[in-house]
Amino acid sequence: MDKLINDFSVGLFFWQSLLFIALILLLKKFAWGPILSAVEDREEGIKDALEAAEKAKEEMQNLTADNERILAEARIERDALLKEAREIKEEIVNDAKKLASTEADKILLLAKEKINNEKMKAITELKNQVAEMSIDIAEKILKSELSDKNKQNELVAKALKINELN
């Protein structure tokens, strides 16, 4: 201990303290400050870049998921549309068929009616003509019959006989 105190050099202590403190201050300003901030900036940069990459990856995943979802939705929609179209088509065809058959029925009915009418008309006409012809014939017969007095009497008698019977 005595030797330690004896050997203690004030000069060395002075120079060491002076140079060392100067070294700390100079290096702080010109070396440690810039070095540490550069390193920190770099680390920050790396961290940011990693985060950005992670984010991009996530976004990409989201995007892919979205795409798939949209695709699936589109497929479903397409299927629905196709189904609907098929249904509509069938409906239209069915409707058309139904419409066509009712129309045909109507036309047929009309035609039948018309035919019936024509038939009736023809029958009536025929009846009339037959009646006319009958009257004509009857007239002619009557004329020939009534030309003879006997025959007239006979006829009257006959007619009377019929009435009597009734």
Partner 1 sequence: MHRFLKRDSRYNKMKVNTIIFTLVISVFFNLNIFADEHLSNSEKDIKTEIKETISHHLQDSHDFVLTHGLSFPLPVILYTDGNLDIFSSANFHHGTTPYEVDGRVYSLDHGHIIEASGLHPIDFSITKNVTFIFIVFLMMMFMFIRMAKSYKKNSLPTGMGRLLEPIVLYIRDDIAIPNIGEKHYKKYMSYLLTVFFFIWIINLFGLTPLGVNVTNNIAVTLSLALITYVLTTVTANKSYWGHIFWMPGVPTPMKLLLAPIELFGTIIKPFSLMIRLYANITAGHIVLMSILGLIFIFKGWIGSSLSFGLAFALSLLELLVAALQAYIFTMLSALYFGSAVEEHDDH
Could you list the residues that contact partner 1 (CB under 8 A)? 4, 7-17, 19-24, 26-28, 30-36, 38-39, 41-42, 45
Least separation, in Å, of the C-beta of 22 and partner 1?
A: 7
Q: What's 148's DSSP letter?
A: S
Distance, in Å, from the CA atom of 79 to the CA atom of 72, rounded to the nearest integer, reads 11
- Whole-Å CA distances, 136 to 19, 92, 128, 133, 141: 166, 64, 12, 5, 8
Least separation, in Å, of the C-beta of 11 and partner 1?
A: 4
Least separation, in Å, of the C-beta of 39 and partner 1?
A: 7
For partner 1, give the closer residue by CB, 16 or 67.
Answer: 16
Contact 62, 54 (CB under 8 A): no
For partner 1, give the closer residue by CB, 11 or 166.
Answer: 11
For partner 1, give the closer residue by CB, 45 or 157.
Answer: 45
Least separation, in Å, of the C-beta of 44 and partner 1?
A: 11
For partner 1, give the closer residue by CB, 1 or 162.
Answer: 1
